[in-house]
Amino acid sequence: MKDKASVDSEKSAVHRPVNIRDVDEEVDAFEHLKGTEGYVEYRTLNWFQAGGLLLAETLALGVLSFPNLAAQIGVAPTIVATIILAFLAWITGYILVDFKVNHPSVMNFADVGRIIGGSIFKWVMLIGIVLKSVLIQASHVNSGGTAFTEMSRNARCSVLLCFCMALFGFVCTIPRKFSHASWASFVSCISIITACLITIIACGANQAEYSNATWRAANNPGVAGVVNSLTNMIFAYGGHAAIFAFVSEMKKPNDFKKSLAMVQVVSTSFYITIGVGVYMLVGEENVKSPALSIPGYKLETAAYAIALVSITISGVIPALNGMKQIWVEAFRGKKMLTSNDWKTYTTWIALAFTTWMIGFFLAQLIPFFSSLLSIISSVLTVWFTYGISGIMWLYDNRKGSNRSPEGWFSNRQKTLMFAFSVFIIIMSSVITPLGMYSAIESIKDGYSTVLVHRRGFVRTKGLSFLFNGGSSTMWKAGNWDFIALP
């Protein structure tokens, strides 16, 4: 029998929190806590579930802007650019998975920053991911509010509807495991595909209305227009920001390469079909963004009602990703990382509510759908999807590294990957300032359309909001009523 001293020693070992400085770089945070009191296993995803999560986030809002960008740059450039960006995203996705396999301690991009550039780069990456997640939440709040107002047509207050969307997203974010959202992600995919099919079928069946519609094989909207279109495409492949979070909850991380194949083939085919198909059917005079607003009222209402499922679920996934970045950073090495006690859940719920409310307020500040996507893409998505992957490959294959002792040029494949990595870093560096310029100009043009208005509005302690729906925002200052039109 064990004596009392040994039993007490074992109990104290179970209850003692793990010191972050004791965590081996090559052991992930979940594995290090395994066997401690209150441990809950989070690594439960298979490749199909993980693929569903990435597909739901990829398809959701990106596809709704494709007909509009096809109208901006034409059919041929849309098809070519979509295929090229998809191919680049496929390769960078492989780089992310390989980096996770080579460094099991990596749970998110912040850990990548810590390994590559130390504490400063870690915090830059952490802030970037959290900011991107909150901005995407704002985009989903904006889209959900637009869906509600388009369905009701006589919406009393678009701001109130956006607030309801934020509350709904908050409730759906309370479950912490990605496995809880994985099967719902397939429902999300079916939802957005069905909504888009309703749109394209309605456009095809109503050709009499679009009999004079014209489309172009190629178009030149100027530098700002081309960059804005490109950044909207990049946003459509922005799910890479969550890849480390998905892979960290998989049973076999390397299997995520199968998930990437599934996502890239399905999403790229769908983008081209909907983007080019709708544009050619209705012509550049009738294209709108989001695309679900193109058909007549009844079909538009049906499409938005179905798409609401996708708008909600695919907004929950990036929200979970951003929250998990904060959670891992705050509780790595502590039992709250995986436990299910009341203190843990209360903290998680508070975090979820805070991020969604921030997203809601941002959605009201930037009520321009395409411009919001462009800001996210140019500053953050382009780097998390493309640029940082190049930096990661260069770091992991530098001369003297365990992966490539002889360096970047040890064989033809590595030489090609070196060229690829340098190319995507340069591409990201160029797109960032150009994308910001395009987005800012678009927002300035939107806010320049300010009207003095005396129509119905909702008063709430000094603030007034327009009755007539849409994504417009109205406010009151003294005797003046202002409305910012998208």
| In the chain, where the domains are located | 30-447, 449-486
The 10 Å Cβ neighbour count of residue 452 is: 9
pLDDT above 90 as % of the chain? 25
Instruction: Indicate the average pLDDT of the chain.
Output: 78
The 10 Å Cβ neighbour count of residue 144 is: 24
Of residues 138 and 22, more confidence is placed in 138
Q: Among the residues of 153-177, which ranges form H helices?
A: 158-172
The type of residue at 52 is G
pLDDT for residue 446: 60
> Which of 58-67, 132-141, 144-153, 433-442 is predicted least confidently?
144-153
Distance separating alpha carbons of residues 449 and 452, to the nearest angstrom: 10
256-276 mean pLDDT:
91
Tokens of residue 310, six digits: 């996708």
Spatial CB neighbours of 278, under 8 Å, sequence gap ≥ 6:
66, 67, 70, 199, 200, 203, 287, 291, 294
Distance separating alpha carbons of residues 287 and 223, to the nearest angstrom: 21
pLDDT for residue 48: 92
The type of residue at 303 is A
Which helix or strand (DSSP H or E) is residue 231 part of?
A: helix 222-236
Confidence label for 94 from pLDDT (cuts 50, 70 and 90): very high
Task: Provide the CB-side half-sphere exposure for 31 (13 A, CA).
Answer: 14
Residue 54's nearest CA partner among 230, 242, 200 is 242
Measured CA to CA in angstroms, residue 152 lies from 147, 172, 191 at distances of 9, 23, 20
pLDDT for residue 14: 42
Q: Among the residues of 366-411, which ranges form H helices?
A: 369-376, 382, 388-396
408-426 mean pLDDT:
91
pLDDT in tens, 285-319: 888 777 777 777 778 788 888 888 888 888 888 89
Confidence label for 338 from pLDDT (cuts 50, 70 and 90): confident
Q: What sign for the dihedral angle of Cα 464, 470, 473, 474? A: negative
pLDDT for residue 150: 67
450-452 sheet: strands from edge to edge: 450-452, 480-484, 473-477
Tokens of residue 366, six digits: 């930037």
364-383 mean pLDDT:
67
pLDDT in tens, 420-467: 999 999 999 988 888 777 777 766 766 555 433 333 333 333 333 333
57-81 mean pLDDT:
85
3-class state of residue 25 by DSSP:
coil
pLDDT for residue 238: 81
* DSSP assignment of 432-451: HHHHHHHHHHHHHHHHT-EE
pLDDT for residue 292: 77
Architecture of the CATH domain 30-447 = Up-down Bundle (1.20)
Residue 72's nearest CA partner among 229, 204, 177 is 229
User: What's this model's pTM, rounded to 2 decimal places?
Assistant: 0.80
Tokens of residue 318, six digits: 């990036």
Distance separating alpha carbons of residues 23 and 41, to the nearest angstrom: 18
pLDDT for residue 22: 40
Tokens of residue 167, six digits: 């509350």
